[in-house]
């Protein structure tokens, strides 16, 4: 059973201030968001975006995401999971204790790469601390920008039922990107997703 004692991260940002792992509107995050907005505008201008809904995953994240810098050392009691399995790693931790953790899906921008990577992590509900069991901080001297949407089970449940996958819900191309088809609203999106689930499967929505 993990406790809430956080191991101090050795990672430092360029300014030396303690900005890692907490929700913040930081220059690195703002630059990431601006890049996603520019890409989405290009997709619309060149006809690459669908006629309805979002221009793509990056458009959704730019409009609804919140930011962190990381990765940071894990809280005591947690361990790193399988590399390159971020969606399953995050989803399993969230489902293990949904009252303590919240599933977040979005993108991370490595300091040494110009392209954002689709990624998932969790946050601790008590303080919004970023917890990433996939990416390790030890070898990174410059923090990475994280931008993602914290989802509640009301949205995740139908997205999970449709995709039959543990995470990666923003990129569910097999079912026509359900979360990206219409404006995202935590109050109405669950009903829209369950309607889609019923049309796709012929089964009634799950409780």
pLDDT 10s digit of each residue in the chain, 207 long?
Answer: 343 333 323 233 333 334 677 776 789 999 999 999 999 999 999 999 998 999 999 999 999 999 999 999 999 999 999 999 999 999 999 999 999 999 999 999 988 888 999 999 999 999 999 999 999 887 667 889 999 999 999 999 999 999 999 999 999 999 999 999 999 999 999 999 999 999 999 998 876
Give 130's strand partners: 123
- Structural domain containing residue 89: 27-151
**Chain centre distance of CA 62:** 11
Q: Phi-psi category of 53—alpha, beta or left, where left has phi over 0 and alpha has psi -120 to 50?
A: left
Residue 156 lies in a domain: no
Residue 11 lies in a domain: no
Residue 74 lies in a domain: yes
Q: Are 185 and 192 in contact (CB under 8 A)?
A: no
Across 166-182, b (16+ Cβ under 10 Å) vs e yields: bbbbbbbeebebbbbbe
Residue 181 lies in a domain: no
At residue 189, the 3 state secondary structure works out as helix
Residue 130 lies in a domain: yes
Residue 111 lies in a domain: yes
Q: Are 179 and 159 in contact (CB under 8 A)?
A: yes
Residue 15 lies in a domain: no
Residue 95 lies in a domain: yes
| pTM (predicted TM-score) | 0.88
Number of domains in the chain: 1
Across 76-102, b (16+ Cβ under 10 Å) vs e yields: eeeeeeeeebbbbbbbbbbeeeeeebb
């Amino acid at each position: 059973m993990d406790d809430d004692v956080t191991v101090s991260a050795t990672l430092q940002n360029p300014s030396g201030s303690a900005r890692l792992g907490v929700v913040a509107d930081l220059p690195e995050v703002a630059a990431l968001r601006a890049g996603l907005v520019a890409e989405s505008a290009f997709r619309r201008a060149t006809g690459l975006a669908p006629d309805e809904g979002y221009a793509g995953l990056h458009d959704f994240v730019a409009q609804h995401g919140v930011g962190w810098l990381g990765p940071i050392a894990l809280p005591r009691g947690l361990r790193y999971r399988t590399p390159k399995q971020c969606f399953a790693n995050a989803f399993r931790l969230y489902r293990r204790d949904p009252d303590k953790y919240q599933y977040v899906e979005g993108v991370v921008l490595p300091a040494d790469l110009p392209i954002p990577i689709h990624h998932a992590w969790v946050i601790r509900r008590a303080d919004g601390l970023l917890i990433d069991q996939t990416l390790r901080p030890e070898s990174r001297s410059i923090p990475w920008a994280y931008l993602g949407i914290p989802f509640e089970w009301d949205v995740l449940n139908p997205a999970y039922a449709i995709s039959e996958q543990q995470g990666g819900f923003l990129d569910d191309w097999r079912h026509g990107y359900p979360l990206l088809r219409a404006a995202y609203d935590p109050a109405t999106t669950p009903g829209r997703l369950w309607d889609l689930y019923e049309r796709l499967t012929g089964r009634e929505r799950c409780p």
